[in-house]
Structure 1
Amino acid sequence: MITSYIKKHLVVLFIVTSTLVTSQTKFKRVLTSASDFNALKTTPNTNKYGNIDALKVVFDIEEKQLYFINSKTYKYHYRFCKGYLEIPQTLKEFNNSNYKAQHKDKRFLLGNINHYLANDTYNLELSPIDDMLIGDIKTFYDAIKEATYFENFNFFLNTSRLEKLRSVLGIPAISASDLYGDQTYQAVSAQKSYGCLKFVDVDSLKQNNITKHDIIVINQPILELPITAGVITTILQTPLSHISVLGKNRQIPIAAYTKAMQSDILKSFDNQYVSFEVTLDTFYIKPISKEQFERKTKKKKKETLFLETNISVKHLIDVDDLNQNSINTVGGKAANFGVLYDLAKKEQFKIPESAFAIPFHFYDTHIKASGADVLIKQMIYDFKINQDTKALTKQLKAIQKKIKKAPLSPDLIAKVEAKIKSLGDYTRMRFRSSTNAEDIVGFSGAGLYDSKTGIVGSEKKSIEKAIKKVWSSLWYERAFLERDYFNIDQNSIAMGILVHRSFPNEKANGVAITKNLYRKNYLGNVINVQLGEASVVQPEDGVTCDQVICYSGSSSKLYNDKRIVEIISHSNLNNGDLVMTEAELINLSEQLEKIKKHYYYNVYKSKQKYLAFGLDIEFKLDSDDRDLYIKQVRYFND
């Protein structure tokens, strides 16, 4: 049960009580009360949902014995079976024999009992690699049910394999969608900060004069996250939403708490200085004095990041001439697209056709011809001296207006249209922002700039309008302030454009992270996917997407052979079915792993552990053939 208390002015939301356990208590045969469970529980190894207590359980098939393991002493099933039951197996032998379906050489049924505090249910969960037969699942469930005090006890259908078995299991079962929807708490970005707590109406965010020292409490989806010291939102987030990505990039605490607006404890600290800390299972609010606040937030001098800009390339760049060294000429998005182009030739995915890039030179020429360059220099100087956000807003709008009003070079328009025609029959094109302050290590720039559609021969959606709108988005207030937050020199930025055909008939779209976000240094690609064009990163209120973990393509033969799709949540736009088929998800995971390996060893030559290294990859399934397209890759900054 979720509780809260105040002790010495410390407000704690979601307190999970624990009982000290002596090391002599290795297991229990029965659980007669919550105190028995609490004596053995720990946190789960995989943190897919918030506010969970976990306990490992083993059923010995030969001896017909049940062991509720002291999960503080034994982190893994194998350690208990090896250390206490003295099985003569290596870890590899243990996994191969006990996670298979057949009983030959199999001795144990292995599982976790998770207590979900949000709805006070107990659920039996198997490892995603476990191929346990239906009869064994029933035996396991019934044995646990008989030996425990659990009243609301379910079997968790955590994989696509198990979801297909729901109708024939014959035991109470619960799906990922049920658990996801019942959550009241998520740790979106586990950090700590200091600031002034404010309840904010998203519709009048501008009028609230939010500052970088405010910790805001909001109850609606937010398209642009202002520079703040922290966020408490009532809307559950995927790890790939813009709020999640920006929070992790900025290293500020963000928590999703569905009951925040009803919390009298939180309201009692409205407009007060507090410390705010987000952890996996709870968040903490503690009042502090103004003196403490000023001491904790004393400005530390940051080193200015100067970006390189090459404006010497005065021609459109073919996609096969783009590579990781092109960032200074055409920006991160287009440079990474060139890497994908080379990989797509030998792997099982496509990239958007009719692609080329417009380098920085043309942006630089246009802002000088329009007079926007003078306004930009003045604006940067004024803001550095005065930090006046109201004046900044006016100046940025004036810059955007200059860029969009000035006529584009007829020569550039002619070259772009000729290039499009030379590359095929596509006339509806996507013009995508590609800056040197985007898709780079330490700064993703996700959601800061705009992409626009331009159609050859169209007056309403002309090529000229698309190019100028993309260029002008470099000077959106959200983009300027985000760069300022990271101390990027604003005079050193430039906008290139990646051009390729658009996707008017996409069947699915999504974002994947090529690392396991729920278990540190572990196998798995986290994939978020949604039906059609519905946004994954900026979903409409109440809309959820498919969120799965796939292990195919990894270095583990055990995981590869199983072809696992572990489900965290379902899209509520697809009648409870996965948006992508198992085969499509497994193929995607295999391609993600190939892209990751190339970037790890050849592009970034990373010194991180391979399992800790991640890429943020956008993809689509296009047309009735459902062809897999990889459209963007960036370094995952967390």
Structure 2
Amino acid sequence: MLTPIALVLLSQAGSWTWSPKIASKGEFDKLAGVTDVPYRMAHVRFMIDRRQGNRIYYIDSRNDRHHREFANHLYLSLESEQTFFANNTLKENRRFVLGWLAYQSPVKQWTYEFWDGDQITPDLLRLTHRIVKDTFFASVSFKPNSVRQEEVSNSLGIPRVLVREIMRSQKYQPLNLGFGIGRLRIVNKSEEVADAGPEDIVVLADTPAGAPPVAGLIFAQPTTPLSHLGLLARGWKIPSATIVGALDLFKHLEGKLVAYRTEPGEFHLHLAEPEQISVWEAAKAKQRRLSSPKLDISVTKLASLSQQTAADSVAYGAKSANLGEVMHAGLAGVTVPNGFTLPFSAYERFVHANHLDEKIREAMNDATENGTLRRARLKALRESFCAGSIPGDLAREILARAKSEFGDKGVFVRSSTNSEDLPNFSGAGLYSTVPNVKGPDALLAAVRTVWSSVWNDDAYLARERAGIDHRRVAMAVLIQEGVPSESSGVTITANPFDAGDEGAVYISAKRGLGIRVVDGKKVPEQIVFHVGSNAVLVLTRSDEDSLLAFDPKGGVMEVPTAPQRAVLSDSLVRRLATASLALQRIFGNKPQDIEWAVVGEKIFILQSRPYARS
């Protein structure tokens, strides 16, 4: 209930309600709007009018109208949206200070904050803190929404709550939005996840390297949307989220049939209702129609990336062909490492030359319901690939080409299939890459390893779930100059945490080689860059105490590093974002999932693929 003084002070301006003071939680709720991103959060906009003795207006925020509309309605300003916005967020001598108050439930603190691009000054921040503190019923802290705002507030002595502190304390983080029904299965040891199946909702105590397709994933420890399992969940189109404490929260439901839904600000997990079970049973019984990926085995040329464009994906795979497209675009400020690609026809020739056709058929016949038998059969098939002989003329051509292009430098031997980057199947993280390969024998062995990864267990099961005809799957092999990355990662030209955040670029980065960026074991540095405001927001700092670097003898080695220091500078973040948005324009202005590496000031693009939204 509102206090008597609040009833007097609460003012009406047409359809606008505002108050010069908020004296209780009830008064806050009277004015508060609610957002579901990144979690359910009540908030109230405020405006400080410096021309009227620093008068503060706590504004009715139960709609999506902006500060400017409020100022216009009260005839405090008649400026247009653009002029009002520029004058009161970008200038030091502004009339109005524009912000909002919110309760940050993960850290149980009230905060005030500004638009991430607001060029707030130390004096204006001190003023805001004093006025909000004097007119709000509870203790408040400043929440910086950009690196610049964090730096401005560093020495002011005002209480703060940083975004990364909130992220660390957040109990729920959706990784992929969706709905699923299955039996709740708690997996306490990573190796036990291999026994899970498509009818399980799996709760993971730890983050395993991979998993078979399931009906839903719940991580009991923080991970990221770009972890290997996060990417698999997106490809499987299943609900996936971090829910801290999930092991205890859902123990009473273990073994029971549950319905699980992930939404932007909250999740729902409960016993499945009879009508939901009926739909689930019907879906299980429905036969899946096979889809056949495009495949051209008439092309036999070992083509340089510079000789490929996106249209060549039917012969060289999407990864390789897209890199060729990027190379042709000649974007300023980025480099694609040189490389050449063995086409799909080389894979087919190897399979026939080593009589692997029959072994593939046998493995497919056995790789069905029995998980243990399936894994054993597929492992045996991969071993047969690795033990096979590459036809002599092809082997000689590969080695001569590699010697001519790379000399004694280490190379990355990378997968590029016709069963990834499809409209309804990303295939991300399913196939193998062999890093820093040195020497002729090691190079031919790496090619065989990449070919064999068509039959990785994760890849087989993901294709099975998507209804992709295994018999039409082929592997091209990209042999590419190795980049001794000082930092590396993935950029998404969208915000994976908030689909409505237009103009956002998300960056996940780690020191050293990028092999660990998607393993999900450690939290990377996560950054959101907003194009419109030019603001950099750090969500998390990397907590890794080691990095991967090239071993001079070949392969990689682990090197100690200092955790918590910044991986990327703000200027590098902006350059990566600019380059990523340029890549998006090359590929039809569709959001992209981009793999990159940095050496010194040089940015290398290692992959660009469509980003599959939830």
Scaled by the length of structure 1, the TM-score of the pair is 0.86
Q: Which amino acid is the alignment partner of residue 485 of structure 2? A: E
What residue number does 1:16 align with?
none
Residue 276 of structure 1 pairs with residue 257 of structure 2: no
Counterpart contact for 1:273–1:289, Cα < 8 Å: no
Contact 1:50 1:187 in 2 (8 A): no
Q: Secondary structure at the match of 2:503?
A: coil
Stretch moving more, 212-221 or 163-172: 163-172
**Secondary structure in 2 matching 1:315:** coil
| 1:473 aligned residue | 453
In the alignment, the residues of structure 2 paired with residue 283 and residue 446 of structure 1 have an alpha-carbon distance, to the nearest angstrom, of 25
The answer to whether the 8 Å contact 1:78/1:94 transfers is: yes
Match of 2:611 in 1: 636
Take 1:176 and 1:426, find their aligned partners in 2: how far apart are those partners? Answer: 46
CA shift digits 1:172-231 (9 cap, x unpaired)? 122232222111111122212211112112333256x31211111111112113211111
CA distance in 1, matches of 2:281, 2:132: 51
CA shift for structure 1 position 615: 0.3
Which residue number corresponds to residue 15 of structure 1? none
Contact 2:507/2:527 (8 A) holds in 1: yes
Matched letter for residue 348 of structure 1: G
Give the 3-state SS of the residue equivalent to 1:515 in structure 2.
Answer: coil
Query: Quick one: structure 1 residues 379 and 534, their matched pair in 2 at CA, closer, same or farther if it must change by over 3 Å?
Result: closer
Displacement of 1:637 in angstroms is 0.9
Measure the CA separation in 2 of the matches of 1:217 and 1:497.
36
Pick which of 569-578 and 321-330 moved more.
569-578
Give the superposition deviation at 1:633: 0.4
Residues 454 and 549 of structure 1, relative CA distance in 2, 3 Å threshold: closer
Who is 2:86 aligned against? 96
Correspondence for 1:428? 410
**SS where residue 101 of structure 2 aligns?**
strand
User: Which amino acid letter does the alignment assign opposite residue 59 of structure 1?
Assistant: I
CA 1:139–1:479 in 2, change beyond 3 Å: closer, same or farther?
same
For residues 7-406 of structure 1, what are the structure 2 equivalents within 5 Å?
A: 26-44=17-35, 47=37, 49-63=38-52, 64-85=54-75, 87-103=77-93, 106-151=94-139, 153-206=140-193, 209-263=195-249, 266-288=250-272, 292-299=276-283, 300-343=286-329, 345-353=330-338, 355-381=339-365, 387-406=369-388
Instruction: Tell me how far apart the structure 1 counterparts of residues 501 and 267 of structure 2 sit (CA, whole Å).
Output: 24
Counterpart of 1:581?
569
User: 1:513-552 maps to which residues of 2 (within 5 A)?
Assistant: 513-517=492-496, 518-520=498-500, 522-533=502-513, 535=515, 537-539=517-519, 541=521, 543-552=522-531
Matched, 1:619 2:581: no
**Cα distance per residue 1:357-381 (max 9 Å; x no partner):** 0101111111112222112234335
**CA shift at 1:589, angstroms?**
1.2
Determine the C-alpha separation between the residues in 2 that align with 1:411 and 1:475.
Answer: 25
User: Is this contact kept in 2: 1:176–1:570, CA < 8 A?
Assistant: no
Tell me the CA shift for residue 519 of structure 1: 4.8
Of all paired residues, the percent bearing the same amino acid is: 22
Please state if 1:564 is matched with 2:552. Answer: no
Contact 1:319 1:357 in 2 (8 A): yes
Residue range with higher mean Cα deviation, 172-181 or 493-502: 172-181
In structure 2, distance between residues paired with 1:617 and 1:628: 12
Q: CA offset at residue 487 of structure 1?
A: 0.7
Q: How far apart are residue 478 of structure 1 and its match?
A: 0.6
Q: In 2, are the aligned partners of 1:551 and 1:589 still within 8 Å (CA)?
A: no
Structure 1 residue 291: deviation in Å? 7.2
Shift of 1:482: 0.2
CA contact (8 A) 2:191 2:208 kept: no
Q: Deviations for 1:8-54, whole angstroms, at most 9, x for unmatched residues?
A: xxxxxxxxxxxxxxx96622322222222223323348x3x434333
Say which of 478, 491, 497 aligns to 2:471. 491
Alpha-carbon separation, structure 2, partners of 1:302 and 1:507: 45
Q: Deviations over 1:559-582 (max 9, x none)?
A: 3xxx42122222234554421111
Inter-CA distance 234–516: structure 2 relative to 1 (3 Å threshold)? same
How far residue 628 of structure 1 moved from its aligned partner, in angstroms, is 0.8
Unaligned stretches of 5+ residues in structure 1: 1-22, 602-612
Shift of 1:627: 1.3
Taking structure 1 as reference, are residues 233 and 599 closer, same or farther at Cα in structure 2, changes over 3 Å only?
A: same
Aligned match of 1:14: none
Q: Go from structure 1 to structure 2 and tell me whether the alpha carbon gap of 1:458 and 1:491 turns closer, same or farther (over 3 Å shift).
A: closer
Instruction: For residue 244 of structure 1, report the CA deviation from its aligned partner.
Output: 2.6
| Alignment match, 2:549 | none
Change (3 A) 1:532 1:137: same
Q: Which residue of 2 aligns with 1:4?
A: none
CA 1:452–1:536 in 2, change beyond 3 Å: closer, same or farther?
closer
Worse overlay, 273-282 or 487-496: 273-282
Quick check: 1:511–1:536 contact (8 Å CA) kept in 2? no
Deviation at 1:535, TM superposition (A): 5.0
Q: Which amino acid in the other structure matches residue 181 of structure 1? A: R
- Give the distance between the partners of 2:193 and 2:259, measured in 1 at CA: 24
2:16, 2:70 within 8 Å by CA — same for their partners in 1? no
In the other structure, the counterpart of 1:17 is: none
State the distance in 1 between where 2:306 and 2:423 align: 23
Task: Provide closer, same or farther for how the CA distance between residues 519 and 435 of structure 1 changes in structure 2, counting only shifts above 3 A.
Answer: closer
TM-score of the two chains, using structure 2 as the length reference: 0.89
| Counterpart residue identity of residue 18, structure 2 | F
Deviation at 1:512, TM superposition (A): 0.5
Alpha carbons of structure 1 residues 98 and 376: separation in structure 2 relative to 1, 3 Å: same
Change (3 A) 1:314 1:348: same
Query: Alpha-carbon deviation of 1:310?
Result: 1.0
3-state SS of paired residue (1:165): helix
**CA 1:55–1:240 in structure 2 vs 1: closer, same or farther (change >3 Å)?**
farther
Residues 551 and 174 (structure 1), Cα distance of their counterparts in 2 relative to 1, 3 Å cut: same
- Alignment check: 8 A CA contact 1:194 1:297 kept: no
Return the alpha-carbon distance in structure 2 between the equivalents of residues 219 and 594 of structure 1.
Answer: 39
What root-mean-square deviation, in Å, do the aligned CA atoms of Structure 1 and Structure 2 show? 2.4
Where 2:143 maps in the other structure, the secondary structure is strand
CA contact (8 A) 2:527 2:536 kept: yes
Change in Cα spacing, 1:397 to 1:520, as seen in structure 2 (3 Å) is same
- State the SS of the aligned residue for 2:486: strand
Partner Cα separation in structure 2 for residue 280 and residue 346 of structure 1: 35
Structure 1 residues 521 and 488, CA, compared in 2 at 3 Å: closer, same or farther?
same
Deviations, residues 503-558 of structure 1 (Å, cap 9, x unaligned): 3x3110110101233251611211111122365543564x3222112234xxx5xx
Is the 8 Å Cα contact of residues 331 and 436 (structure 1) preserved in structure 2?
yes
